[in-house]
Chain A
Amino acid sequence: VGEQILPEGRCCNVCRGYDFCAEGVICGENSECKNRNTKAECECKSGYASIHGDSTYCEDIDECATQMHYCQANTVCVNLPGSHRCDCLPGFIRVDEYSCTEHDECASGLNLCDENAICTNTIRGHLCTCKPGYVGNGTICRA
């Protein structure tokens, strides 16, 4: 016999794990029904936020809005339904999904990294990290 619970506003117990969503809960187009302990609840899909604090109706988060900073240095933010993209400025090269840099100092050989270091580009330059088993500041790596 499974554990029994009394759902909110109901007369009678149900078993734990009861599928409330299967009863036909109506969630808006950008929202999904989720089963909780004692009831069903609407939850905004990833990349969407509730309108008026009620997750039955959700709208796309505009990651490119003026006050937002989801995209970092040297990018152009492009808003998408449920997500966004950070495109590199023309001629800039990608550092990660969120930032770009002007010069590929690692590929060009214009870097200070020891041969036993790993070079990573940053938005303003580059960093050198000694490989495992080596110690140093990256410009110098000793076994």
Chain B
Amino acid sequence: TVKDSADSSAGQTTEPFQLPGPPHKPIVTDVSKNSVSLTWQPNAHEGGAAVTSYIIEAFSQSAGSTWQTVADMVKIETHTITGLLPNTIYLFIVRAVNAYGLSDPSPISEPVRTQDV
């Protein structure tokens, strides 16, 4: 099936209430040359079904102008993202997932620079 989704505030058949609320701003807990560890608090509003996982997205000017999904099926509120470039500034956001779909993104993390080689 193919579904149009023109604007999130008009013509949506999904009750936004059914989706989880966005997680709180992710906090950077550790940084290395190729990895960053994050932790975040879930939103109190789970929506119409329990939150089953999280999606983590990363932004870096060296990777272009879109957010890349760097982890999904994350089951707990903490994760280490690996495979990052050294000496590079990254931003992170987190979305919660339930049976109805994805939450809005969390606020952006503090920017973090991976360690130099």
Option from B3, B8, B59, B111 in Cβ contact (under 8 Å) with A73: B8
Q: In the complex, are the beta carbons of A67 and B18 less than 8 A apart?
A: yes
Q: In the complex, are the beta carbons of A96 and B6 less than 8 A apart?
A: no
How far is A125 from B102 in the complex, measured between Cα atoms in Å? 20
Option from B1, B18, B73, B108 in Cβ contact (under 8 Å) with A62: B1
In this complex, what residue of B is CB-closest to A86? B5
A63-B101, A132-B113 known; A73-B5 Cβ under 8 A: yes
A129-B91, A131-B89 known; A71-B100 Cβ under 8 A: no
Q: In the complex, are the beta carbons of A120 and B108 less than 8 A apart?
A: yes
Helix, strand, loop or mixed for chain A's interface?
Answer: loop
Q: What number of B residues sit within 8 Å (CB to CB) of A?
A: 36
Interface check B2, CB cutoff 8 A: yes
A95-B66, A132-B112 known; A76-B2 Cβ under 8 A: yes
User: A48-99: which have CB < 8 Å to B?
Assistant: 62-79, 89, 94-98
Q: Which residues of chain B have C-beta atoms less than 8 A from A123's C-beta?
A: 8
In this complex, what residue of B is CB-closest to A67? B14
Option from A63, A76, A129 in Cβ contact (under 8 Å) with B111: A129
Q: Which residues of chain B have C-beta atoms less than 8 A from A13's C-beta?
A: none
Q: In the complex, are the beta carbons of A75 and B111 less than 8 A apart?
A: no
How far is A75 from B7 in the complex, measured between Cα atoms in Å? 9
9 A-B pairs besides A70-B101, A71-B101, A72-B8 with CB distance below 8 A are A69-B19, A69-B102, A95-B66, A96-B57, A96-B67, A97-B67, A106-B65, A120-B59, A131-B89
Which are the 3 A-B pairs with shortest beta-carbon distances? A69-B101, A96-B67, A73-B8
Could you show 22 A-B contacts with beta carbons less than 8 Å apart?
A: A62-B1, A63-B101, A64-B1, A64-B3, A67-B13, A67-B18, A69-B19, A70-B101, A71-B101, A72-B8, A73-B5, A77-B1, A77-B3, A77-B5, A89-B4, A95-B66, A96-B57, A96-B66, A96-B68, A97-B67, A106-B65, A118-B111
Residues in chain B within 8 A of chain A (CB atoms) = 1-8, 12-14, 16, 18-19, 57, 59, 61, 65-69, 73, 89, 91, 95, 100-102, 104-105, 108, 110-113
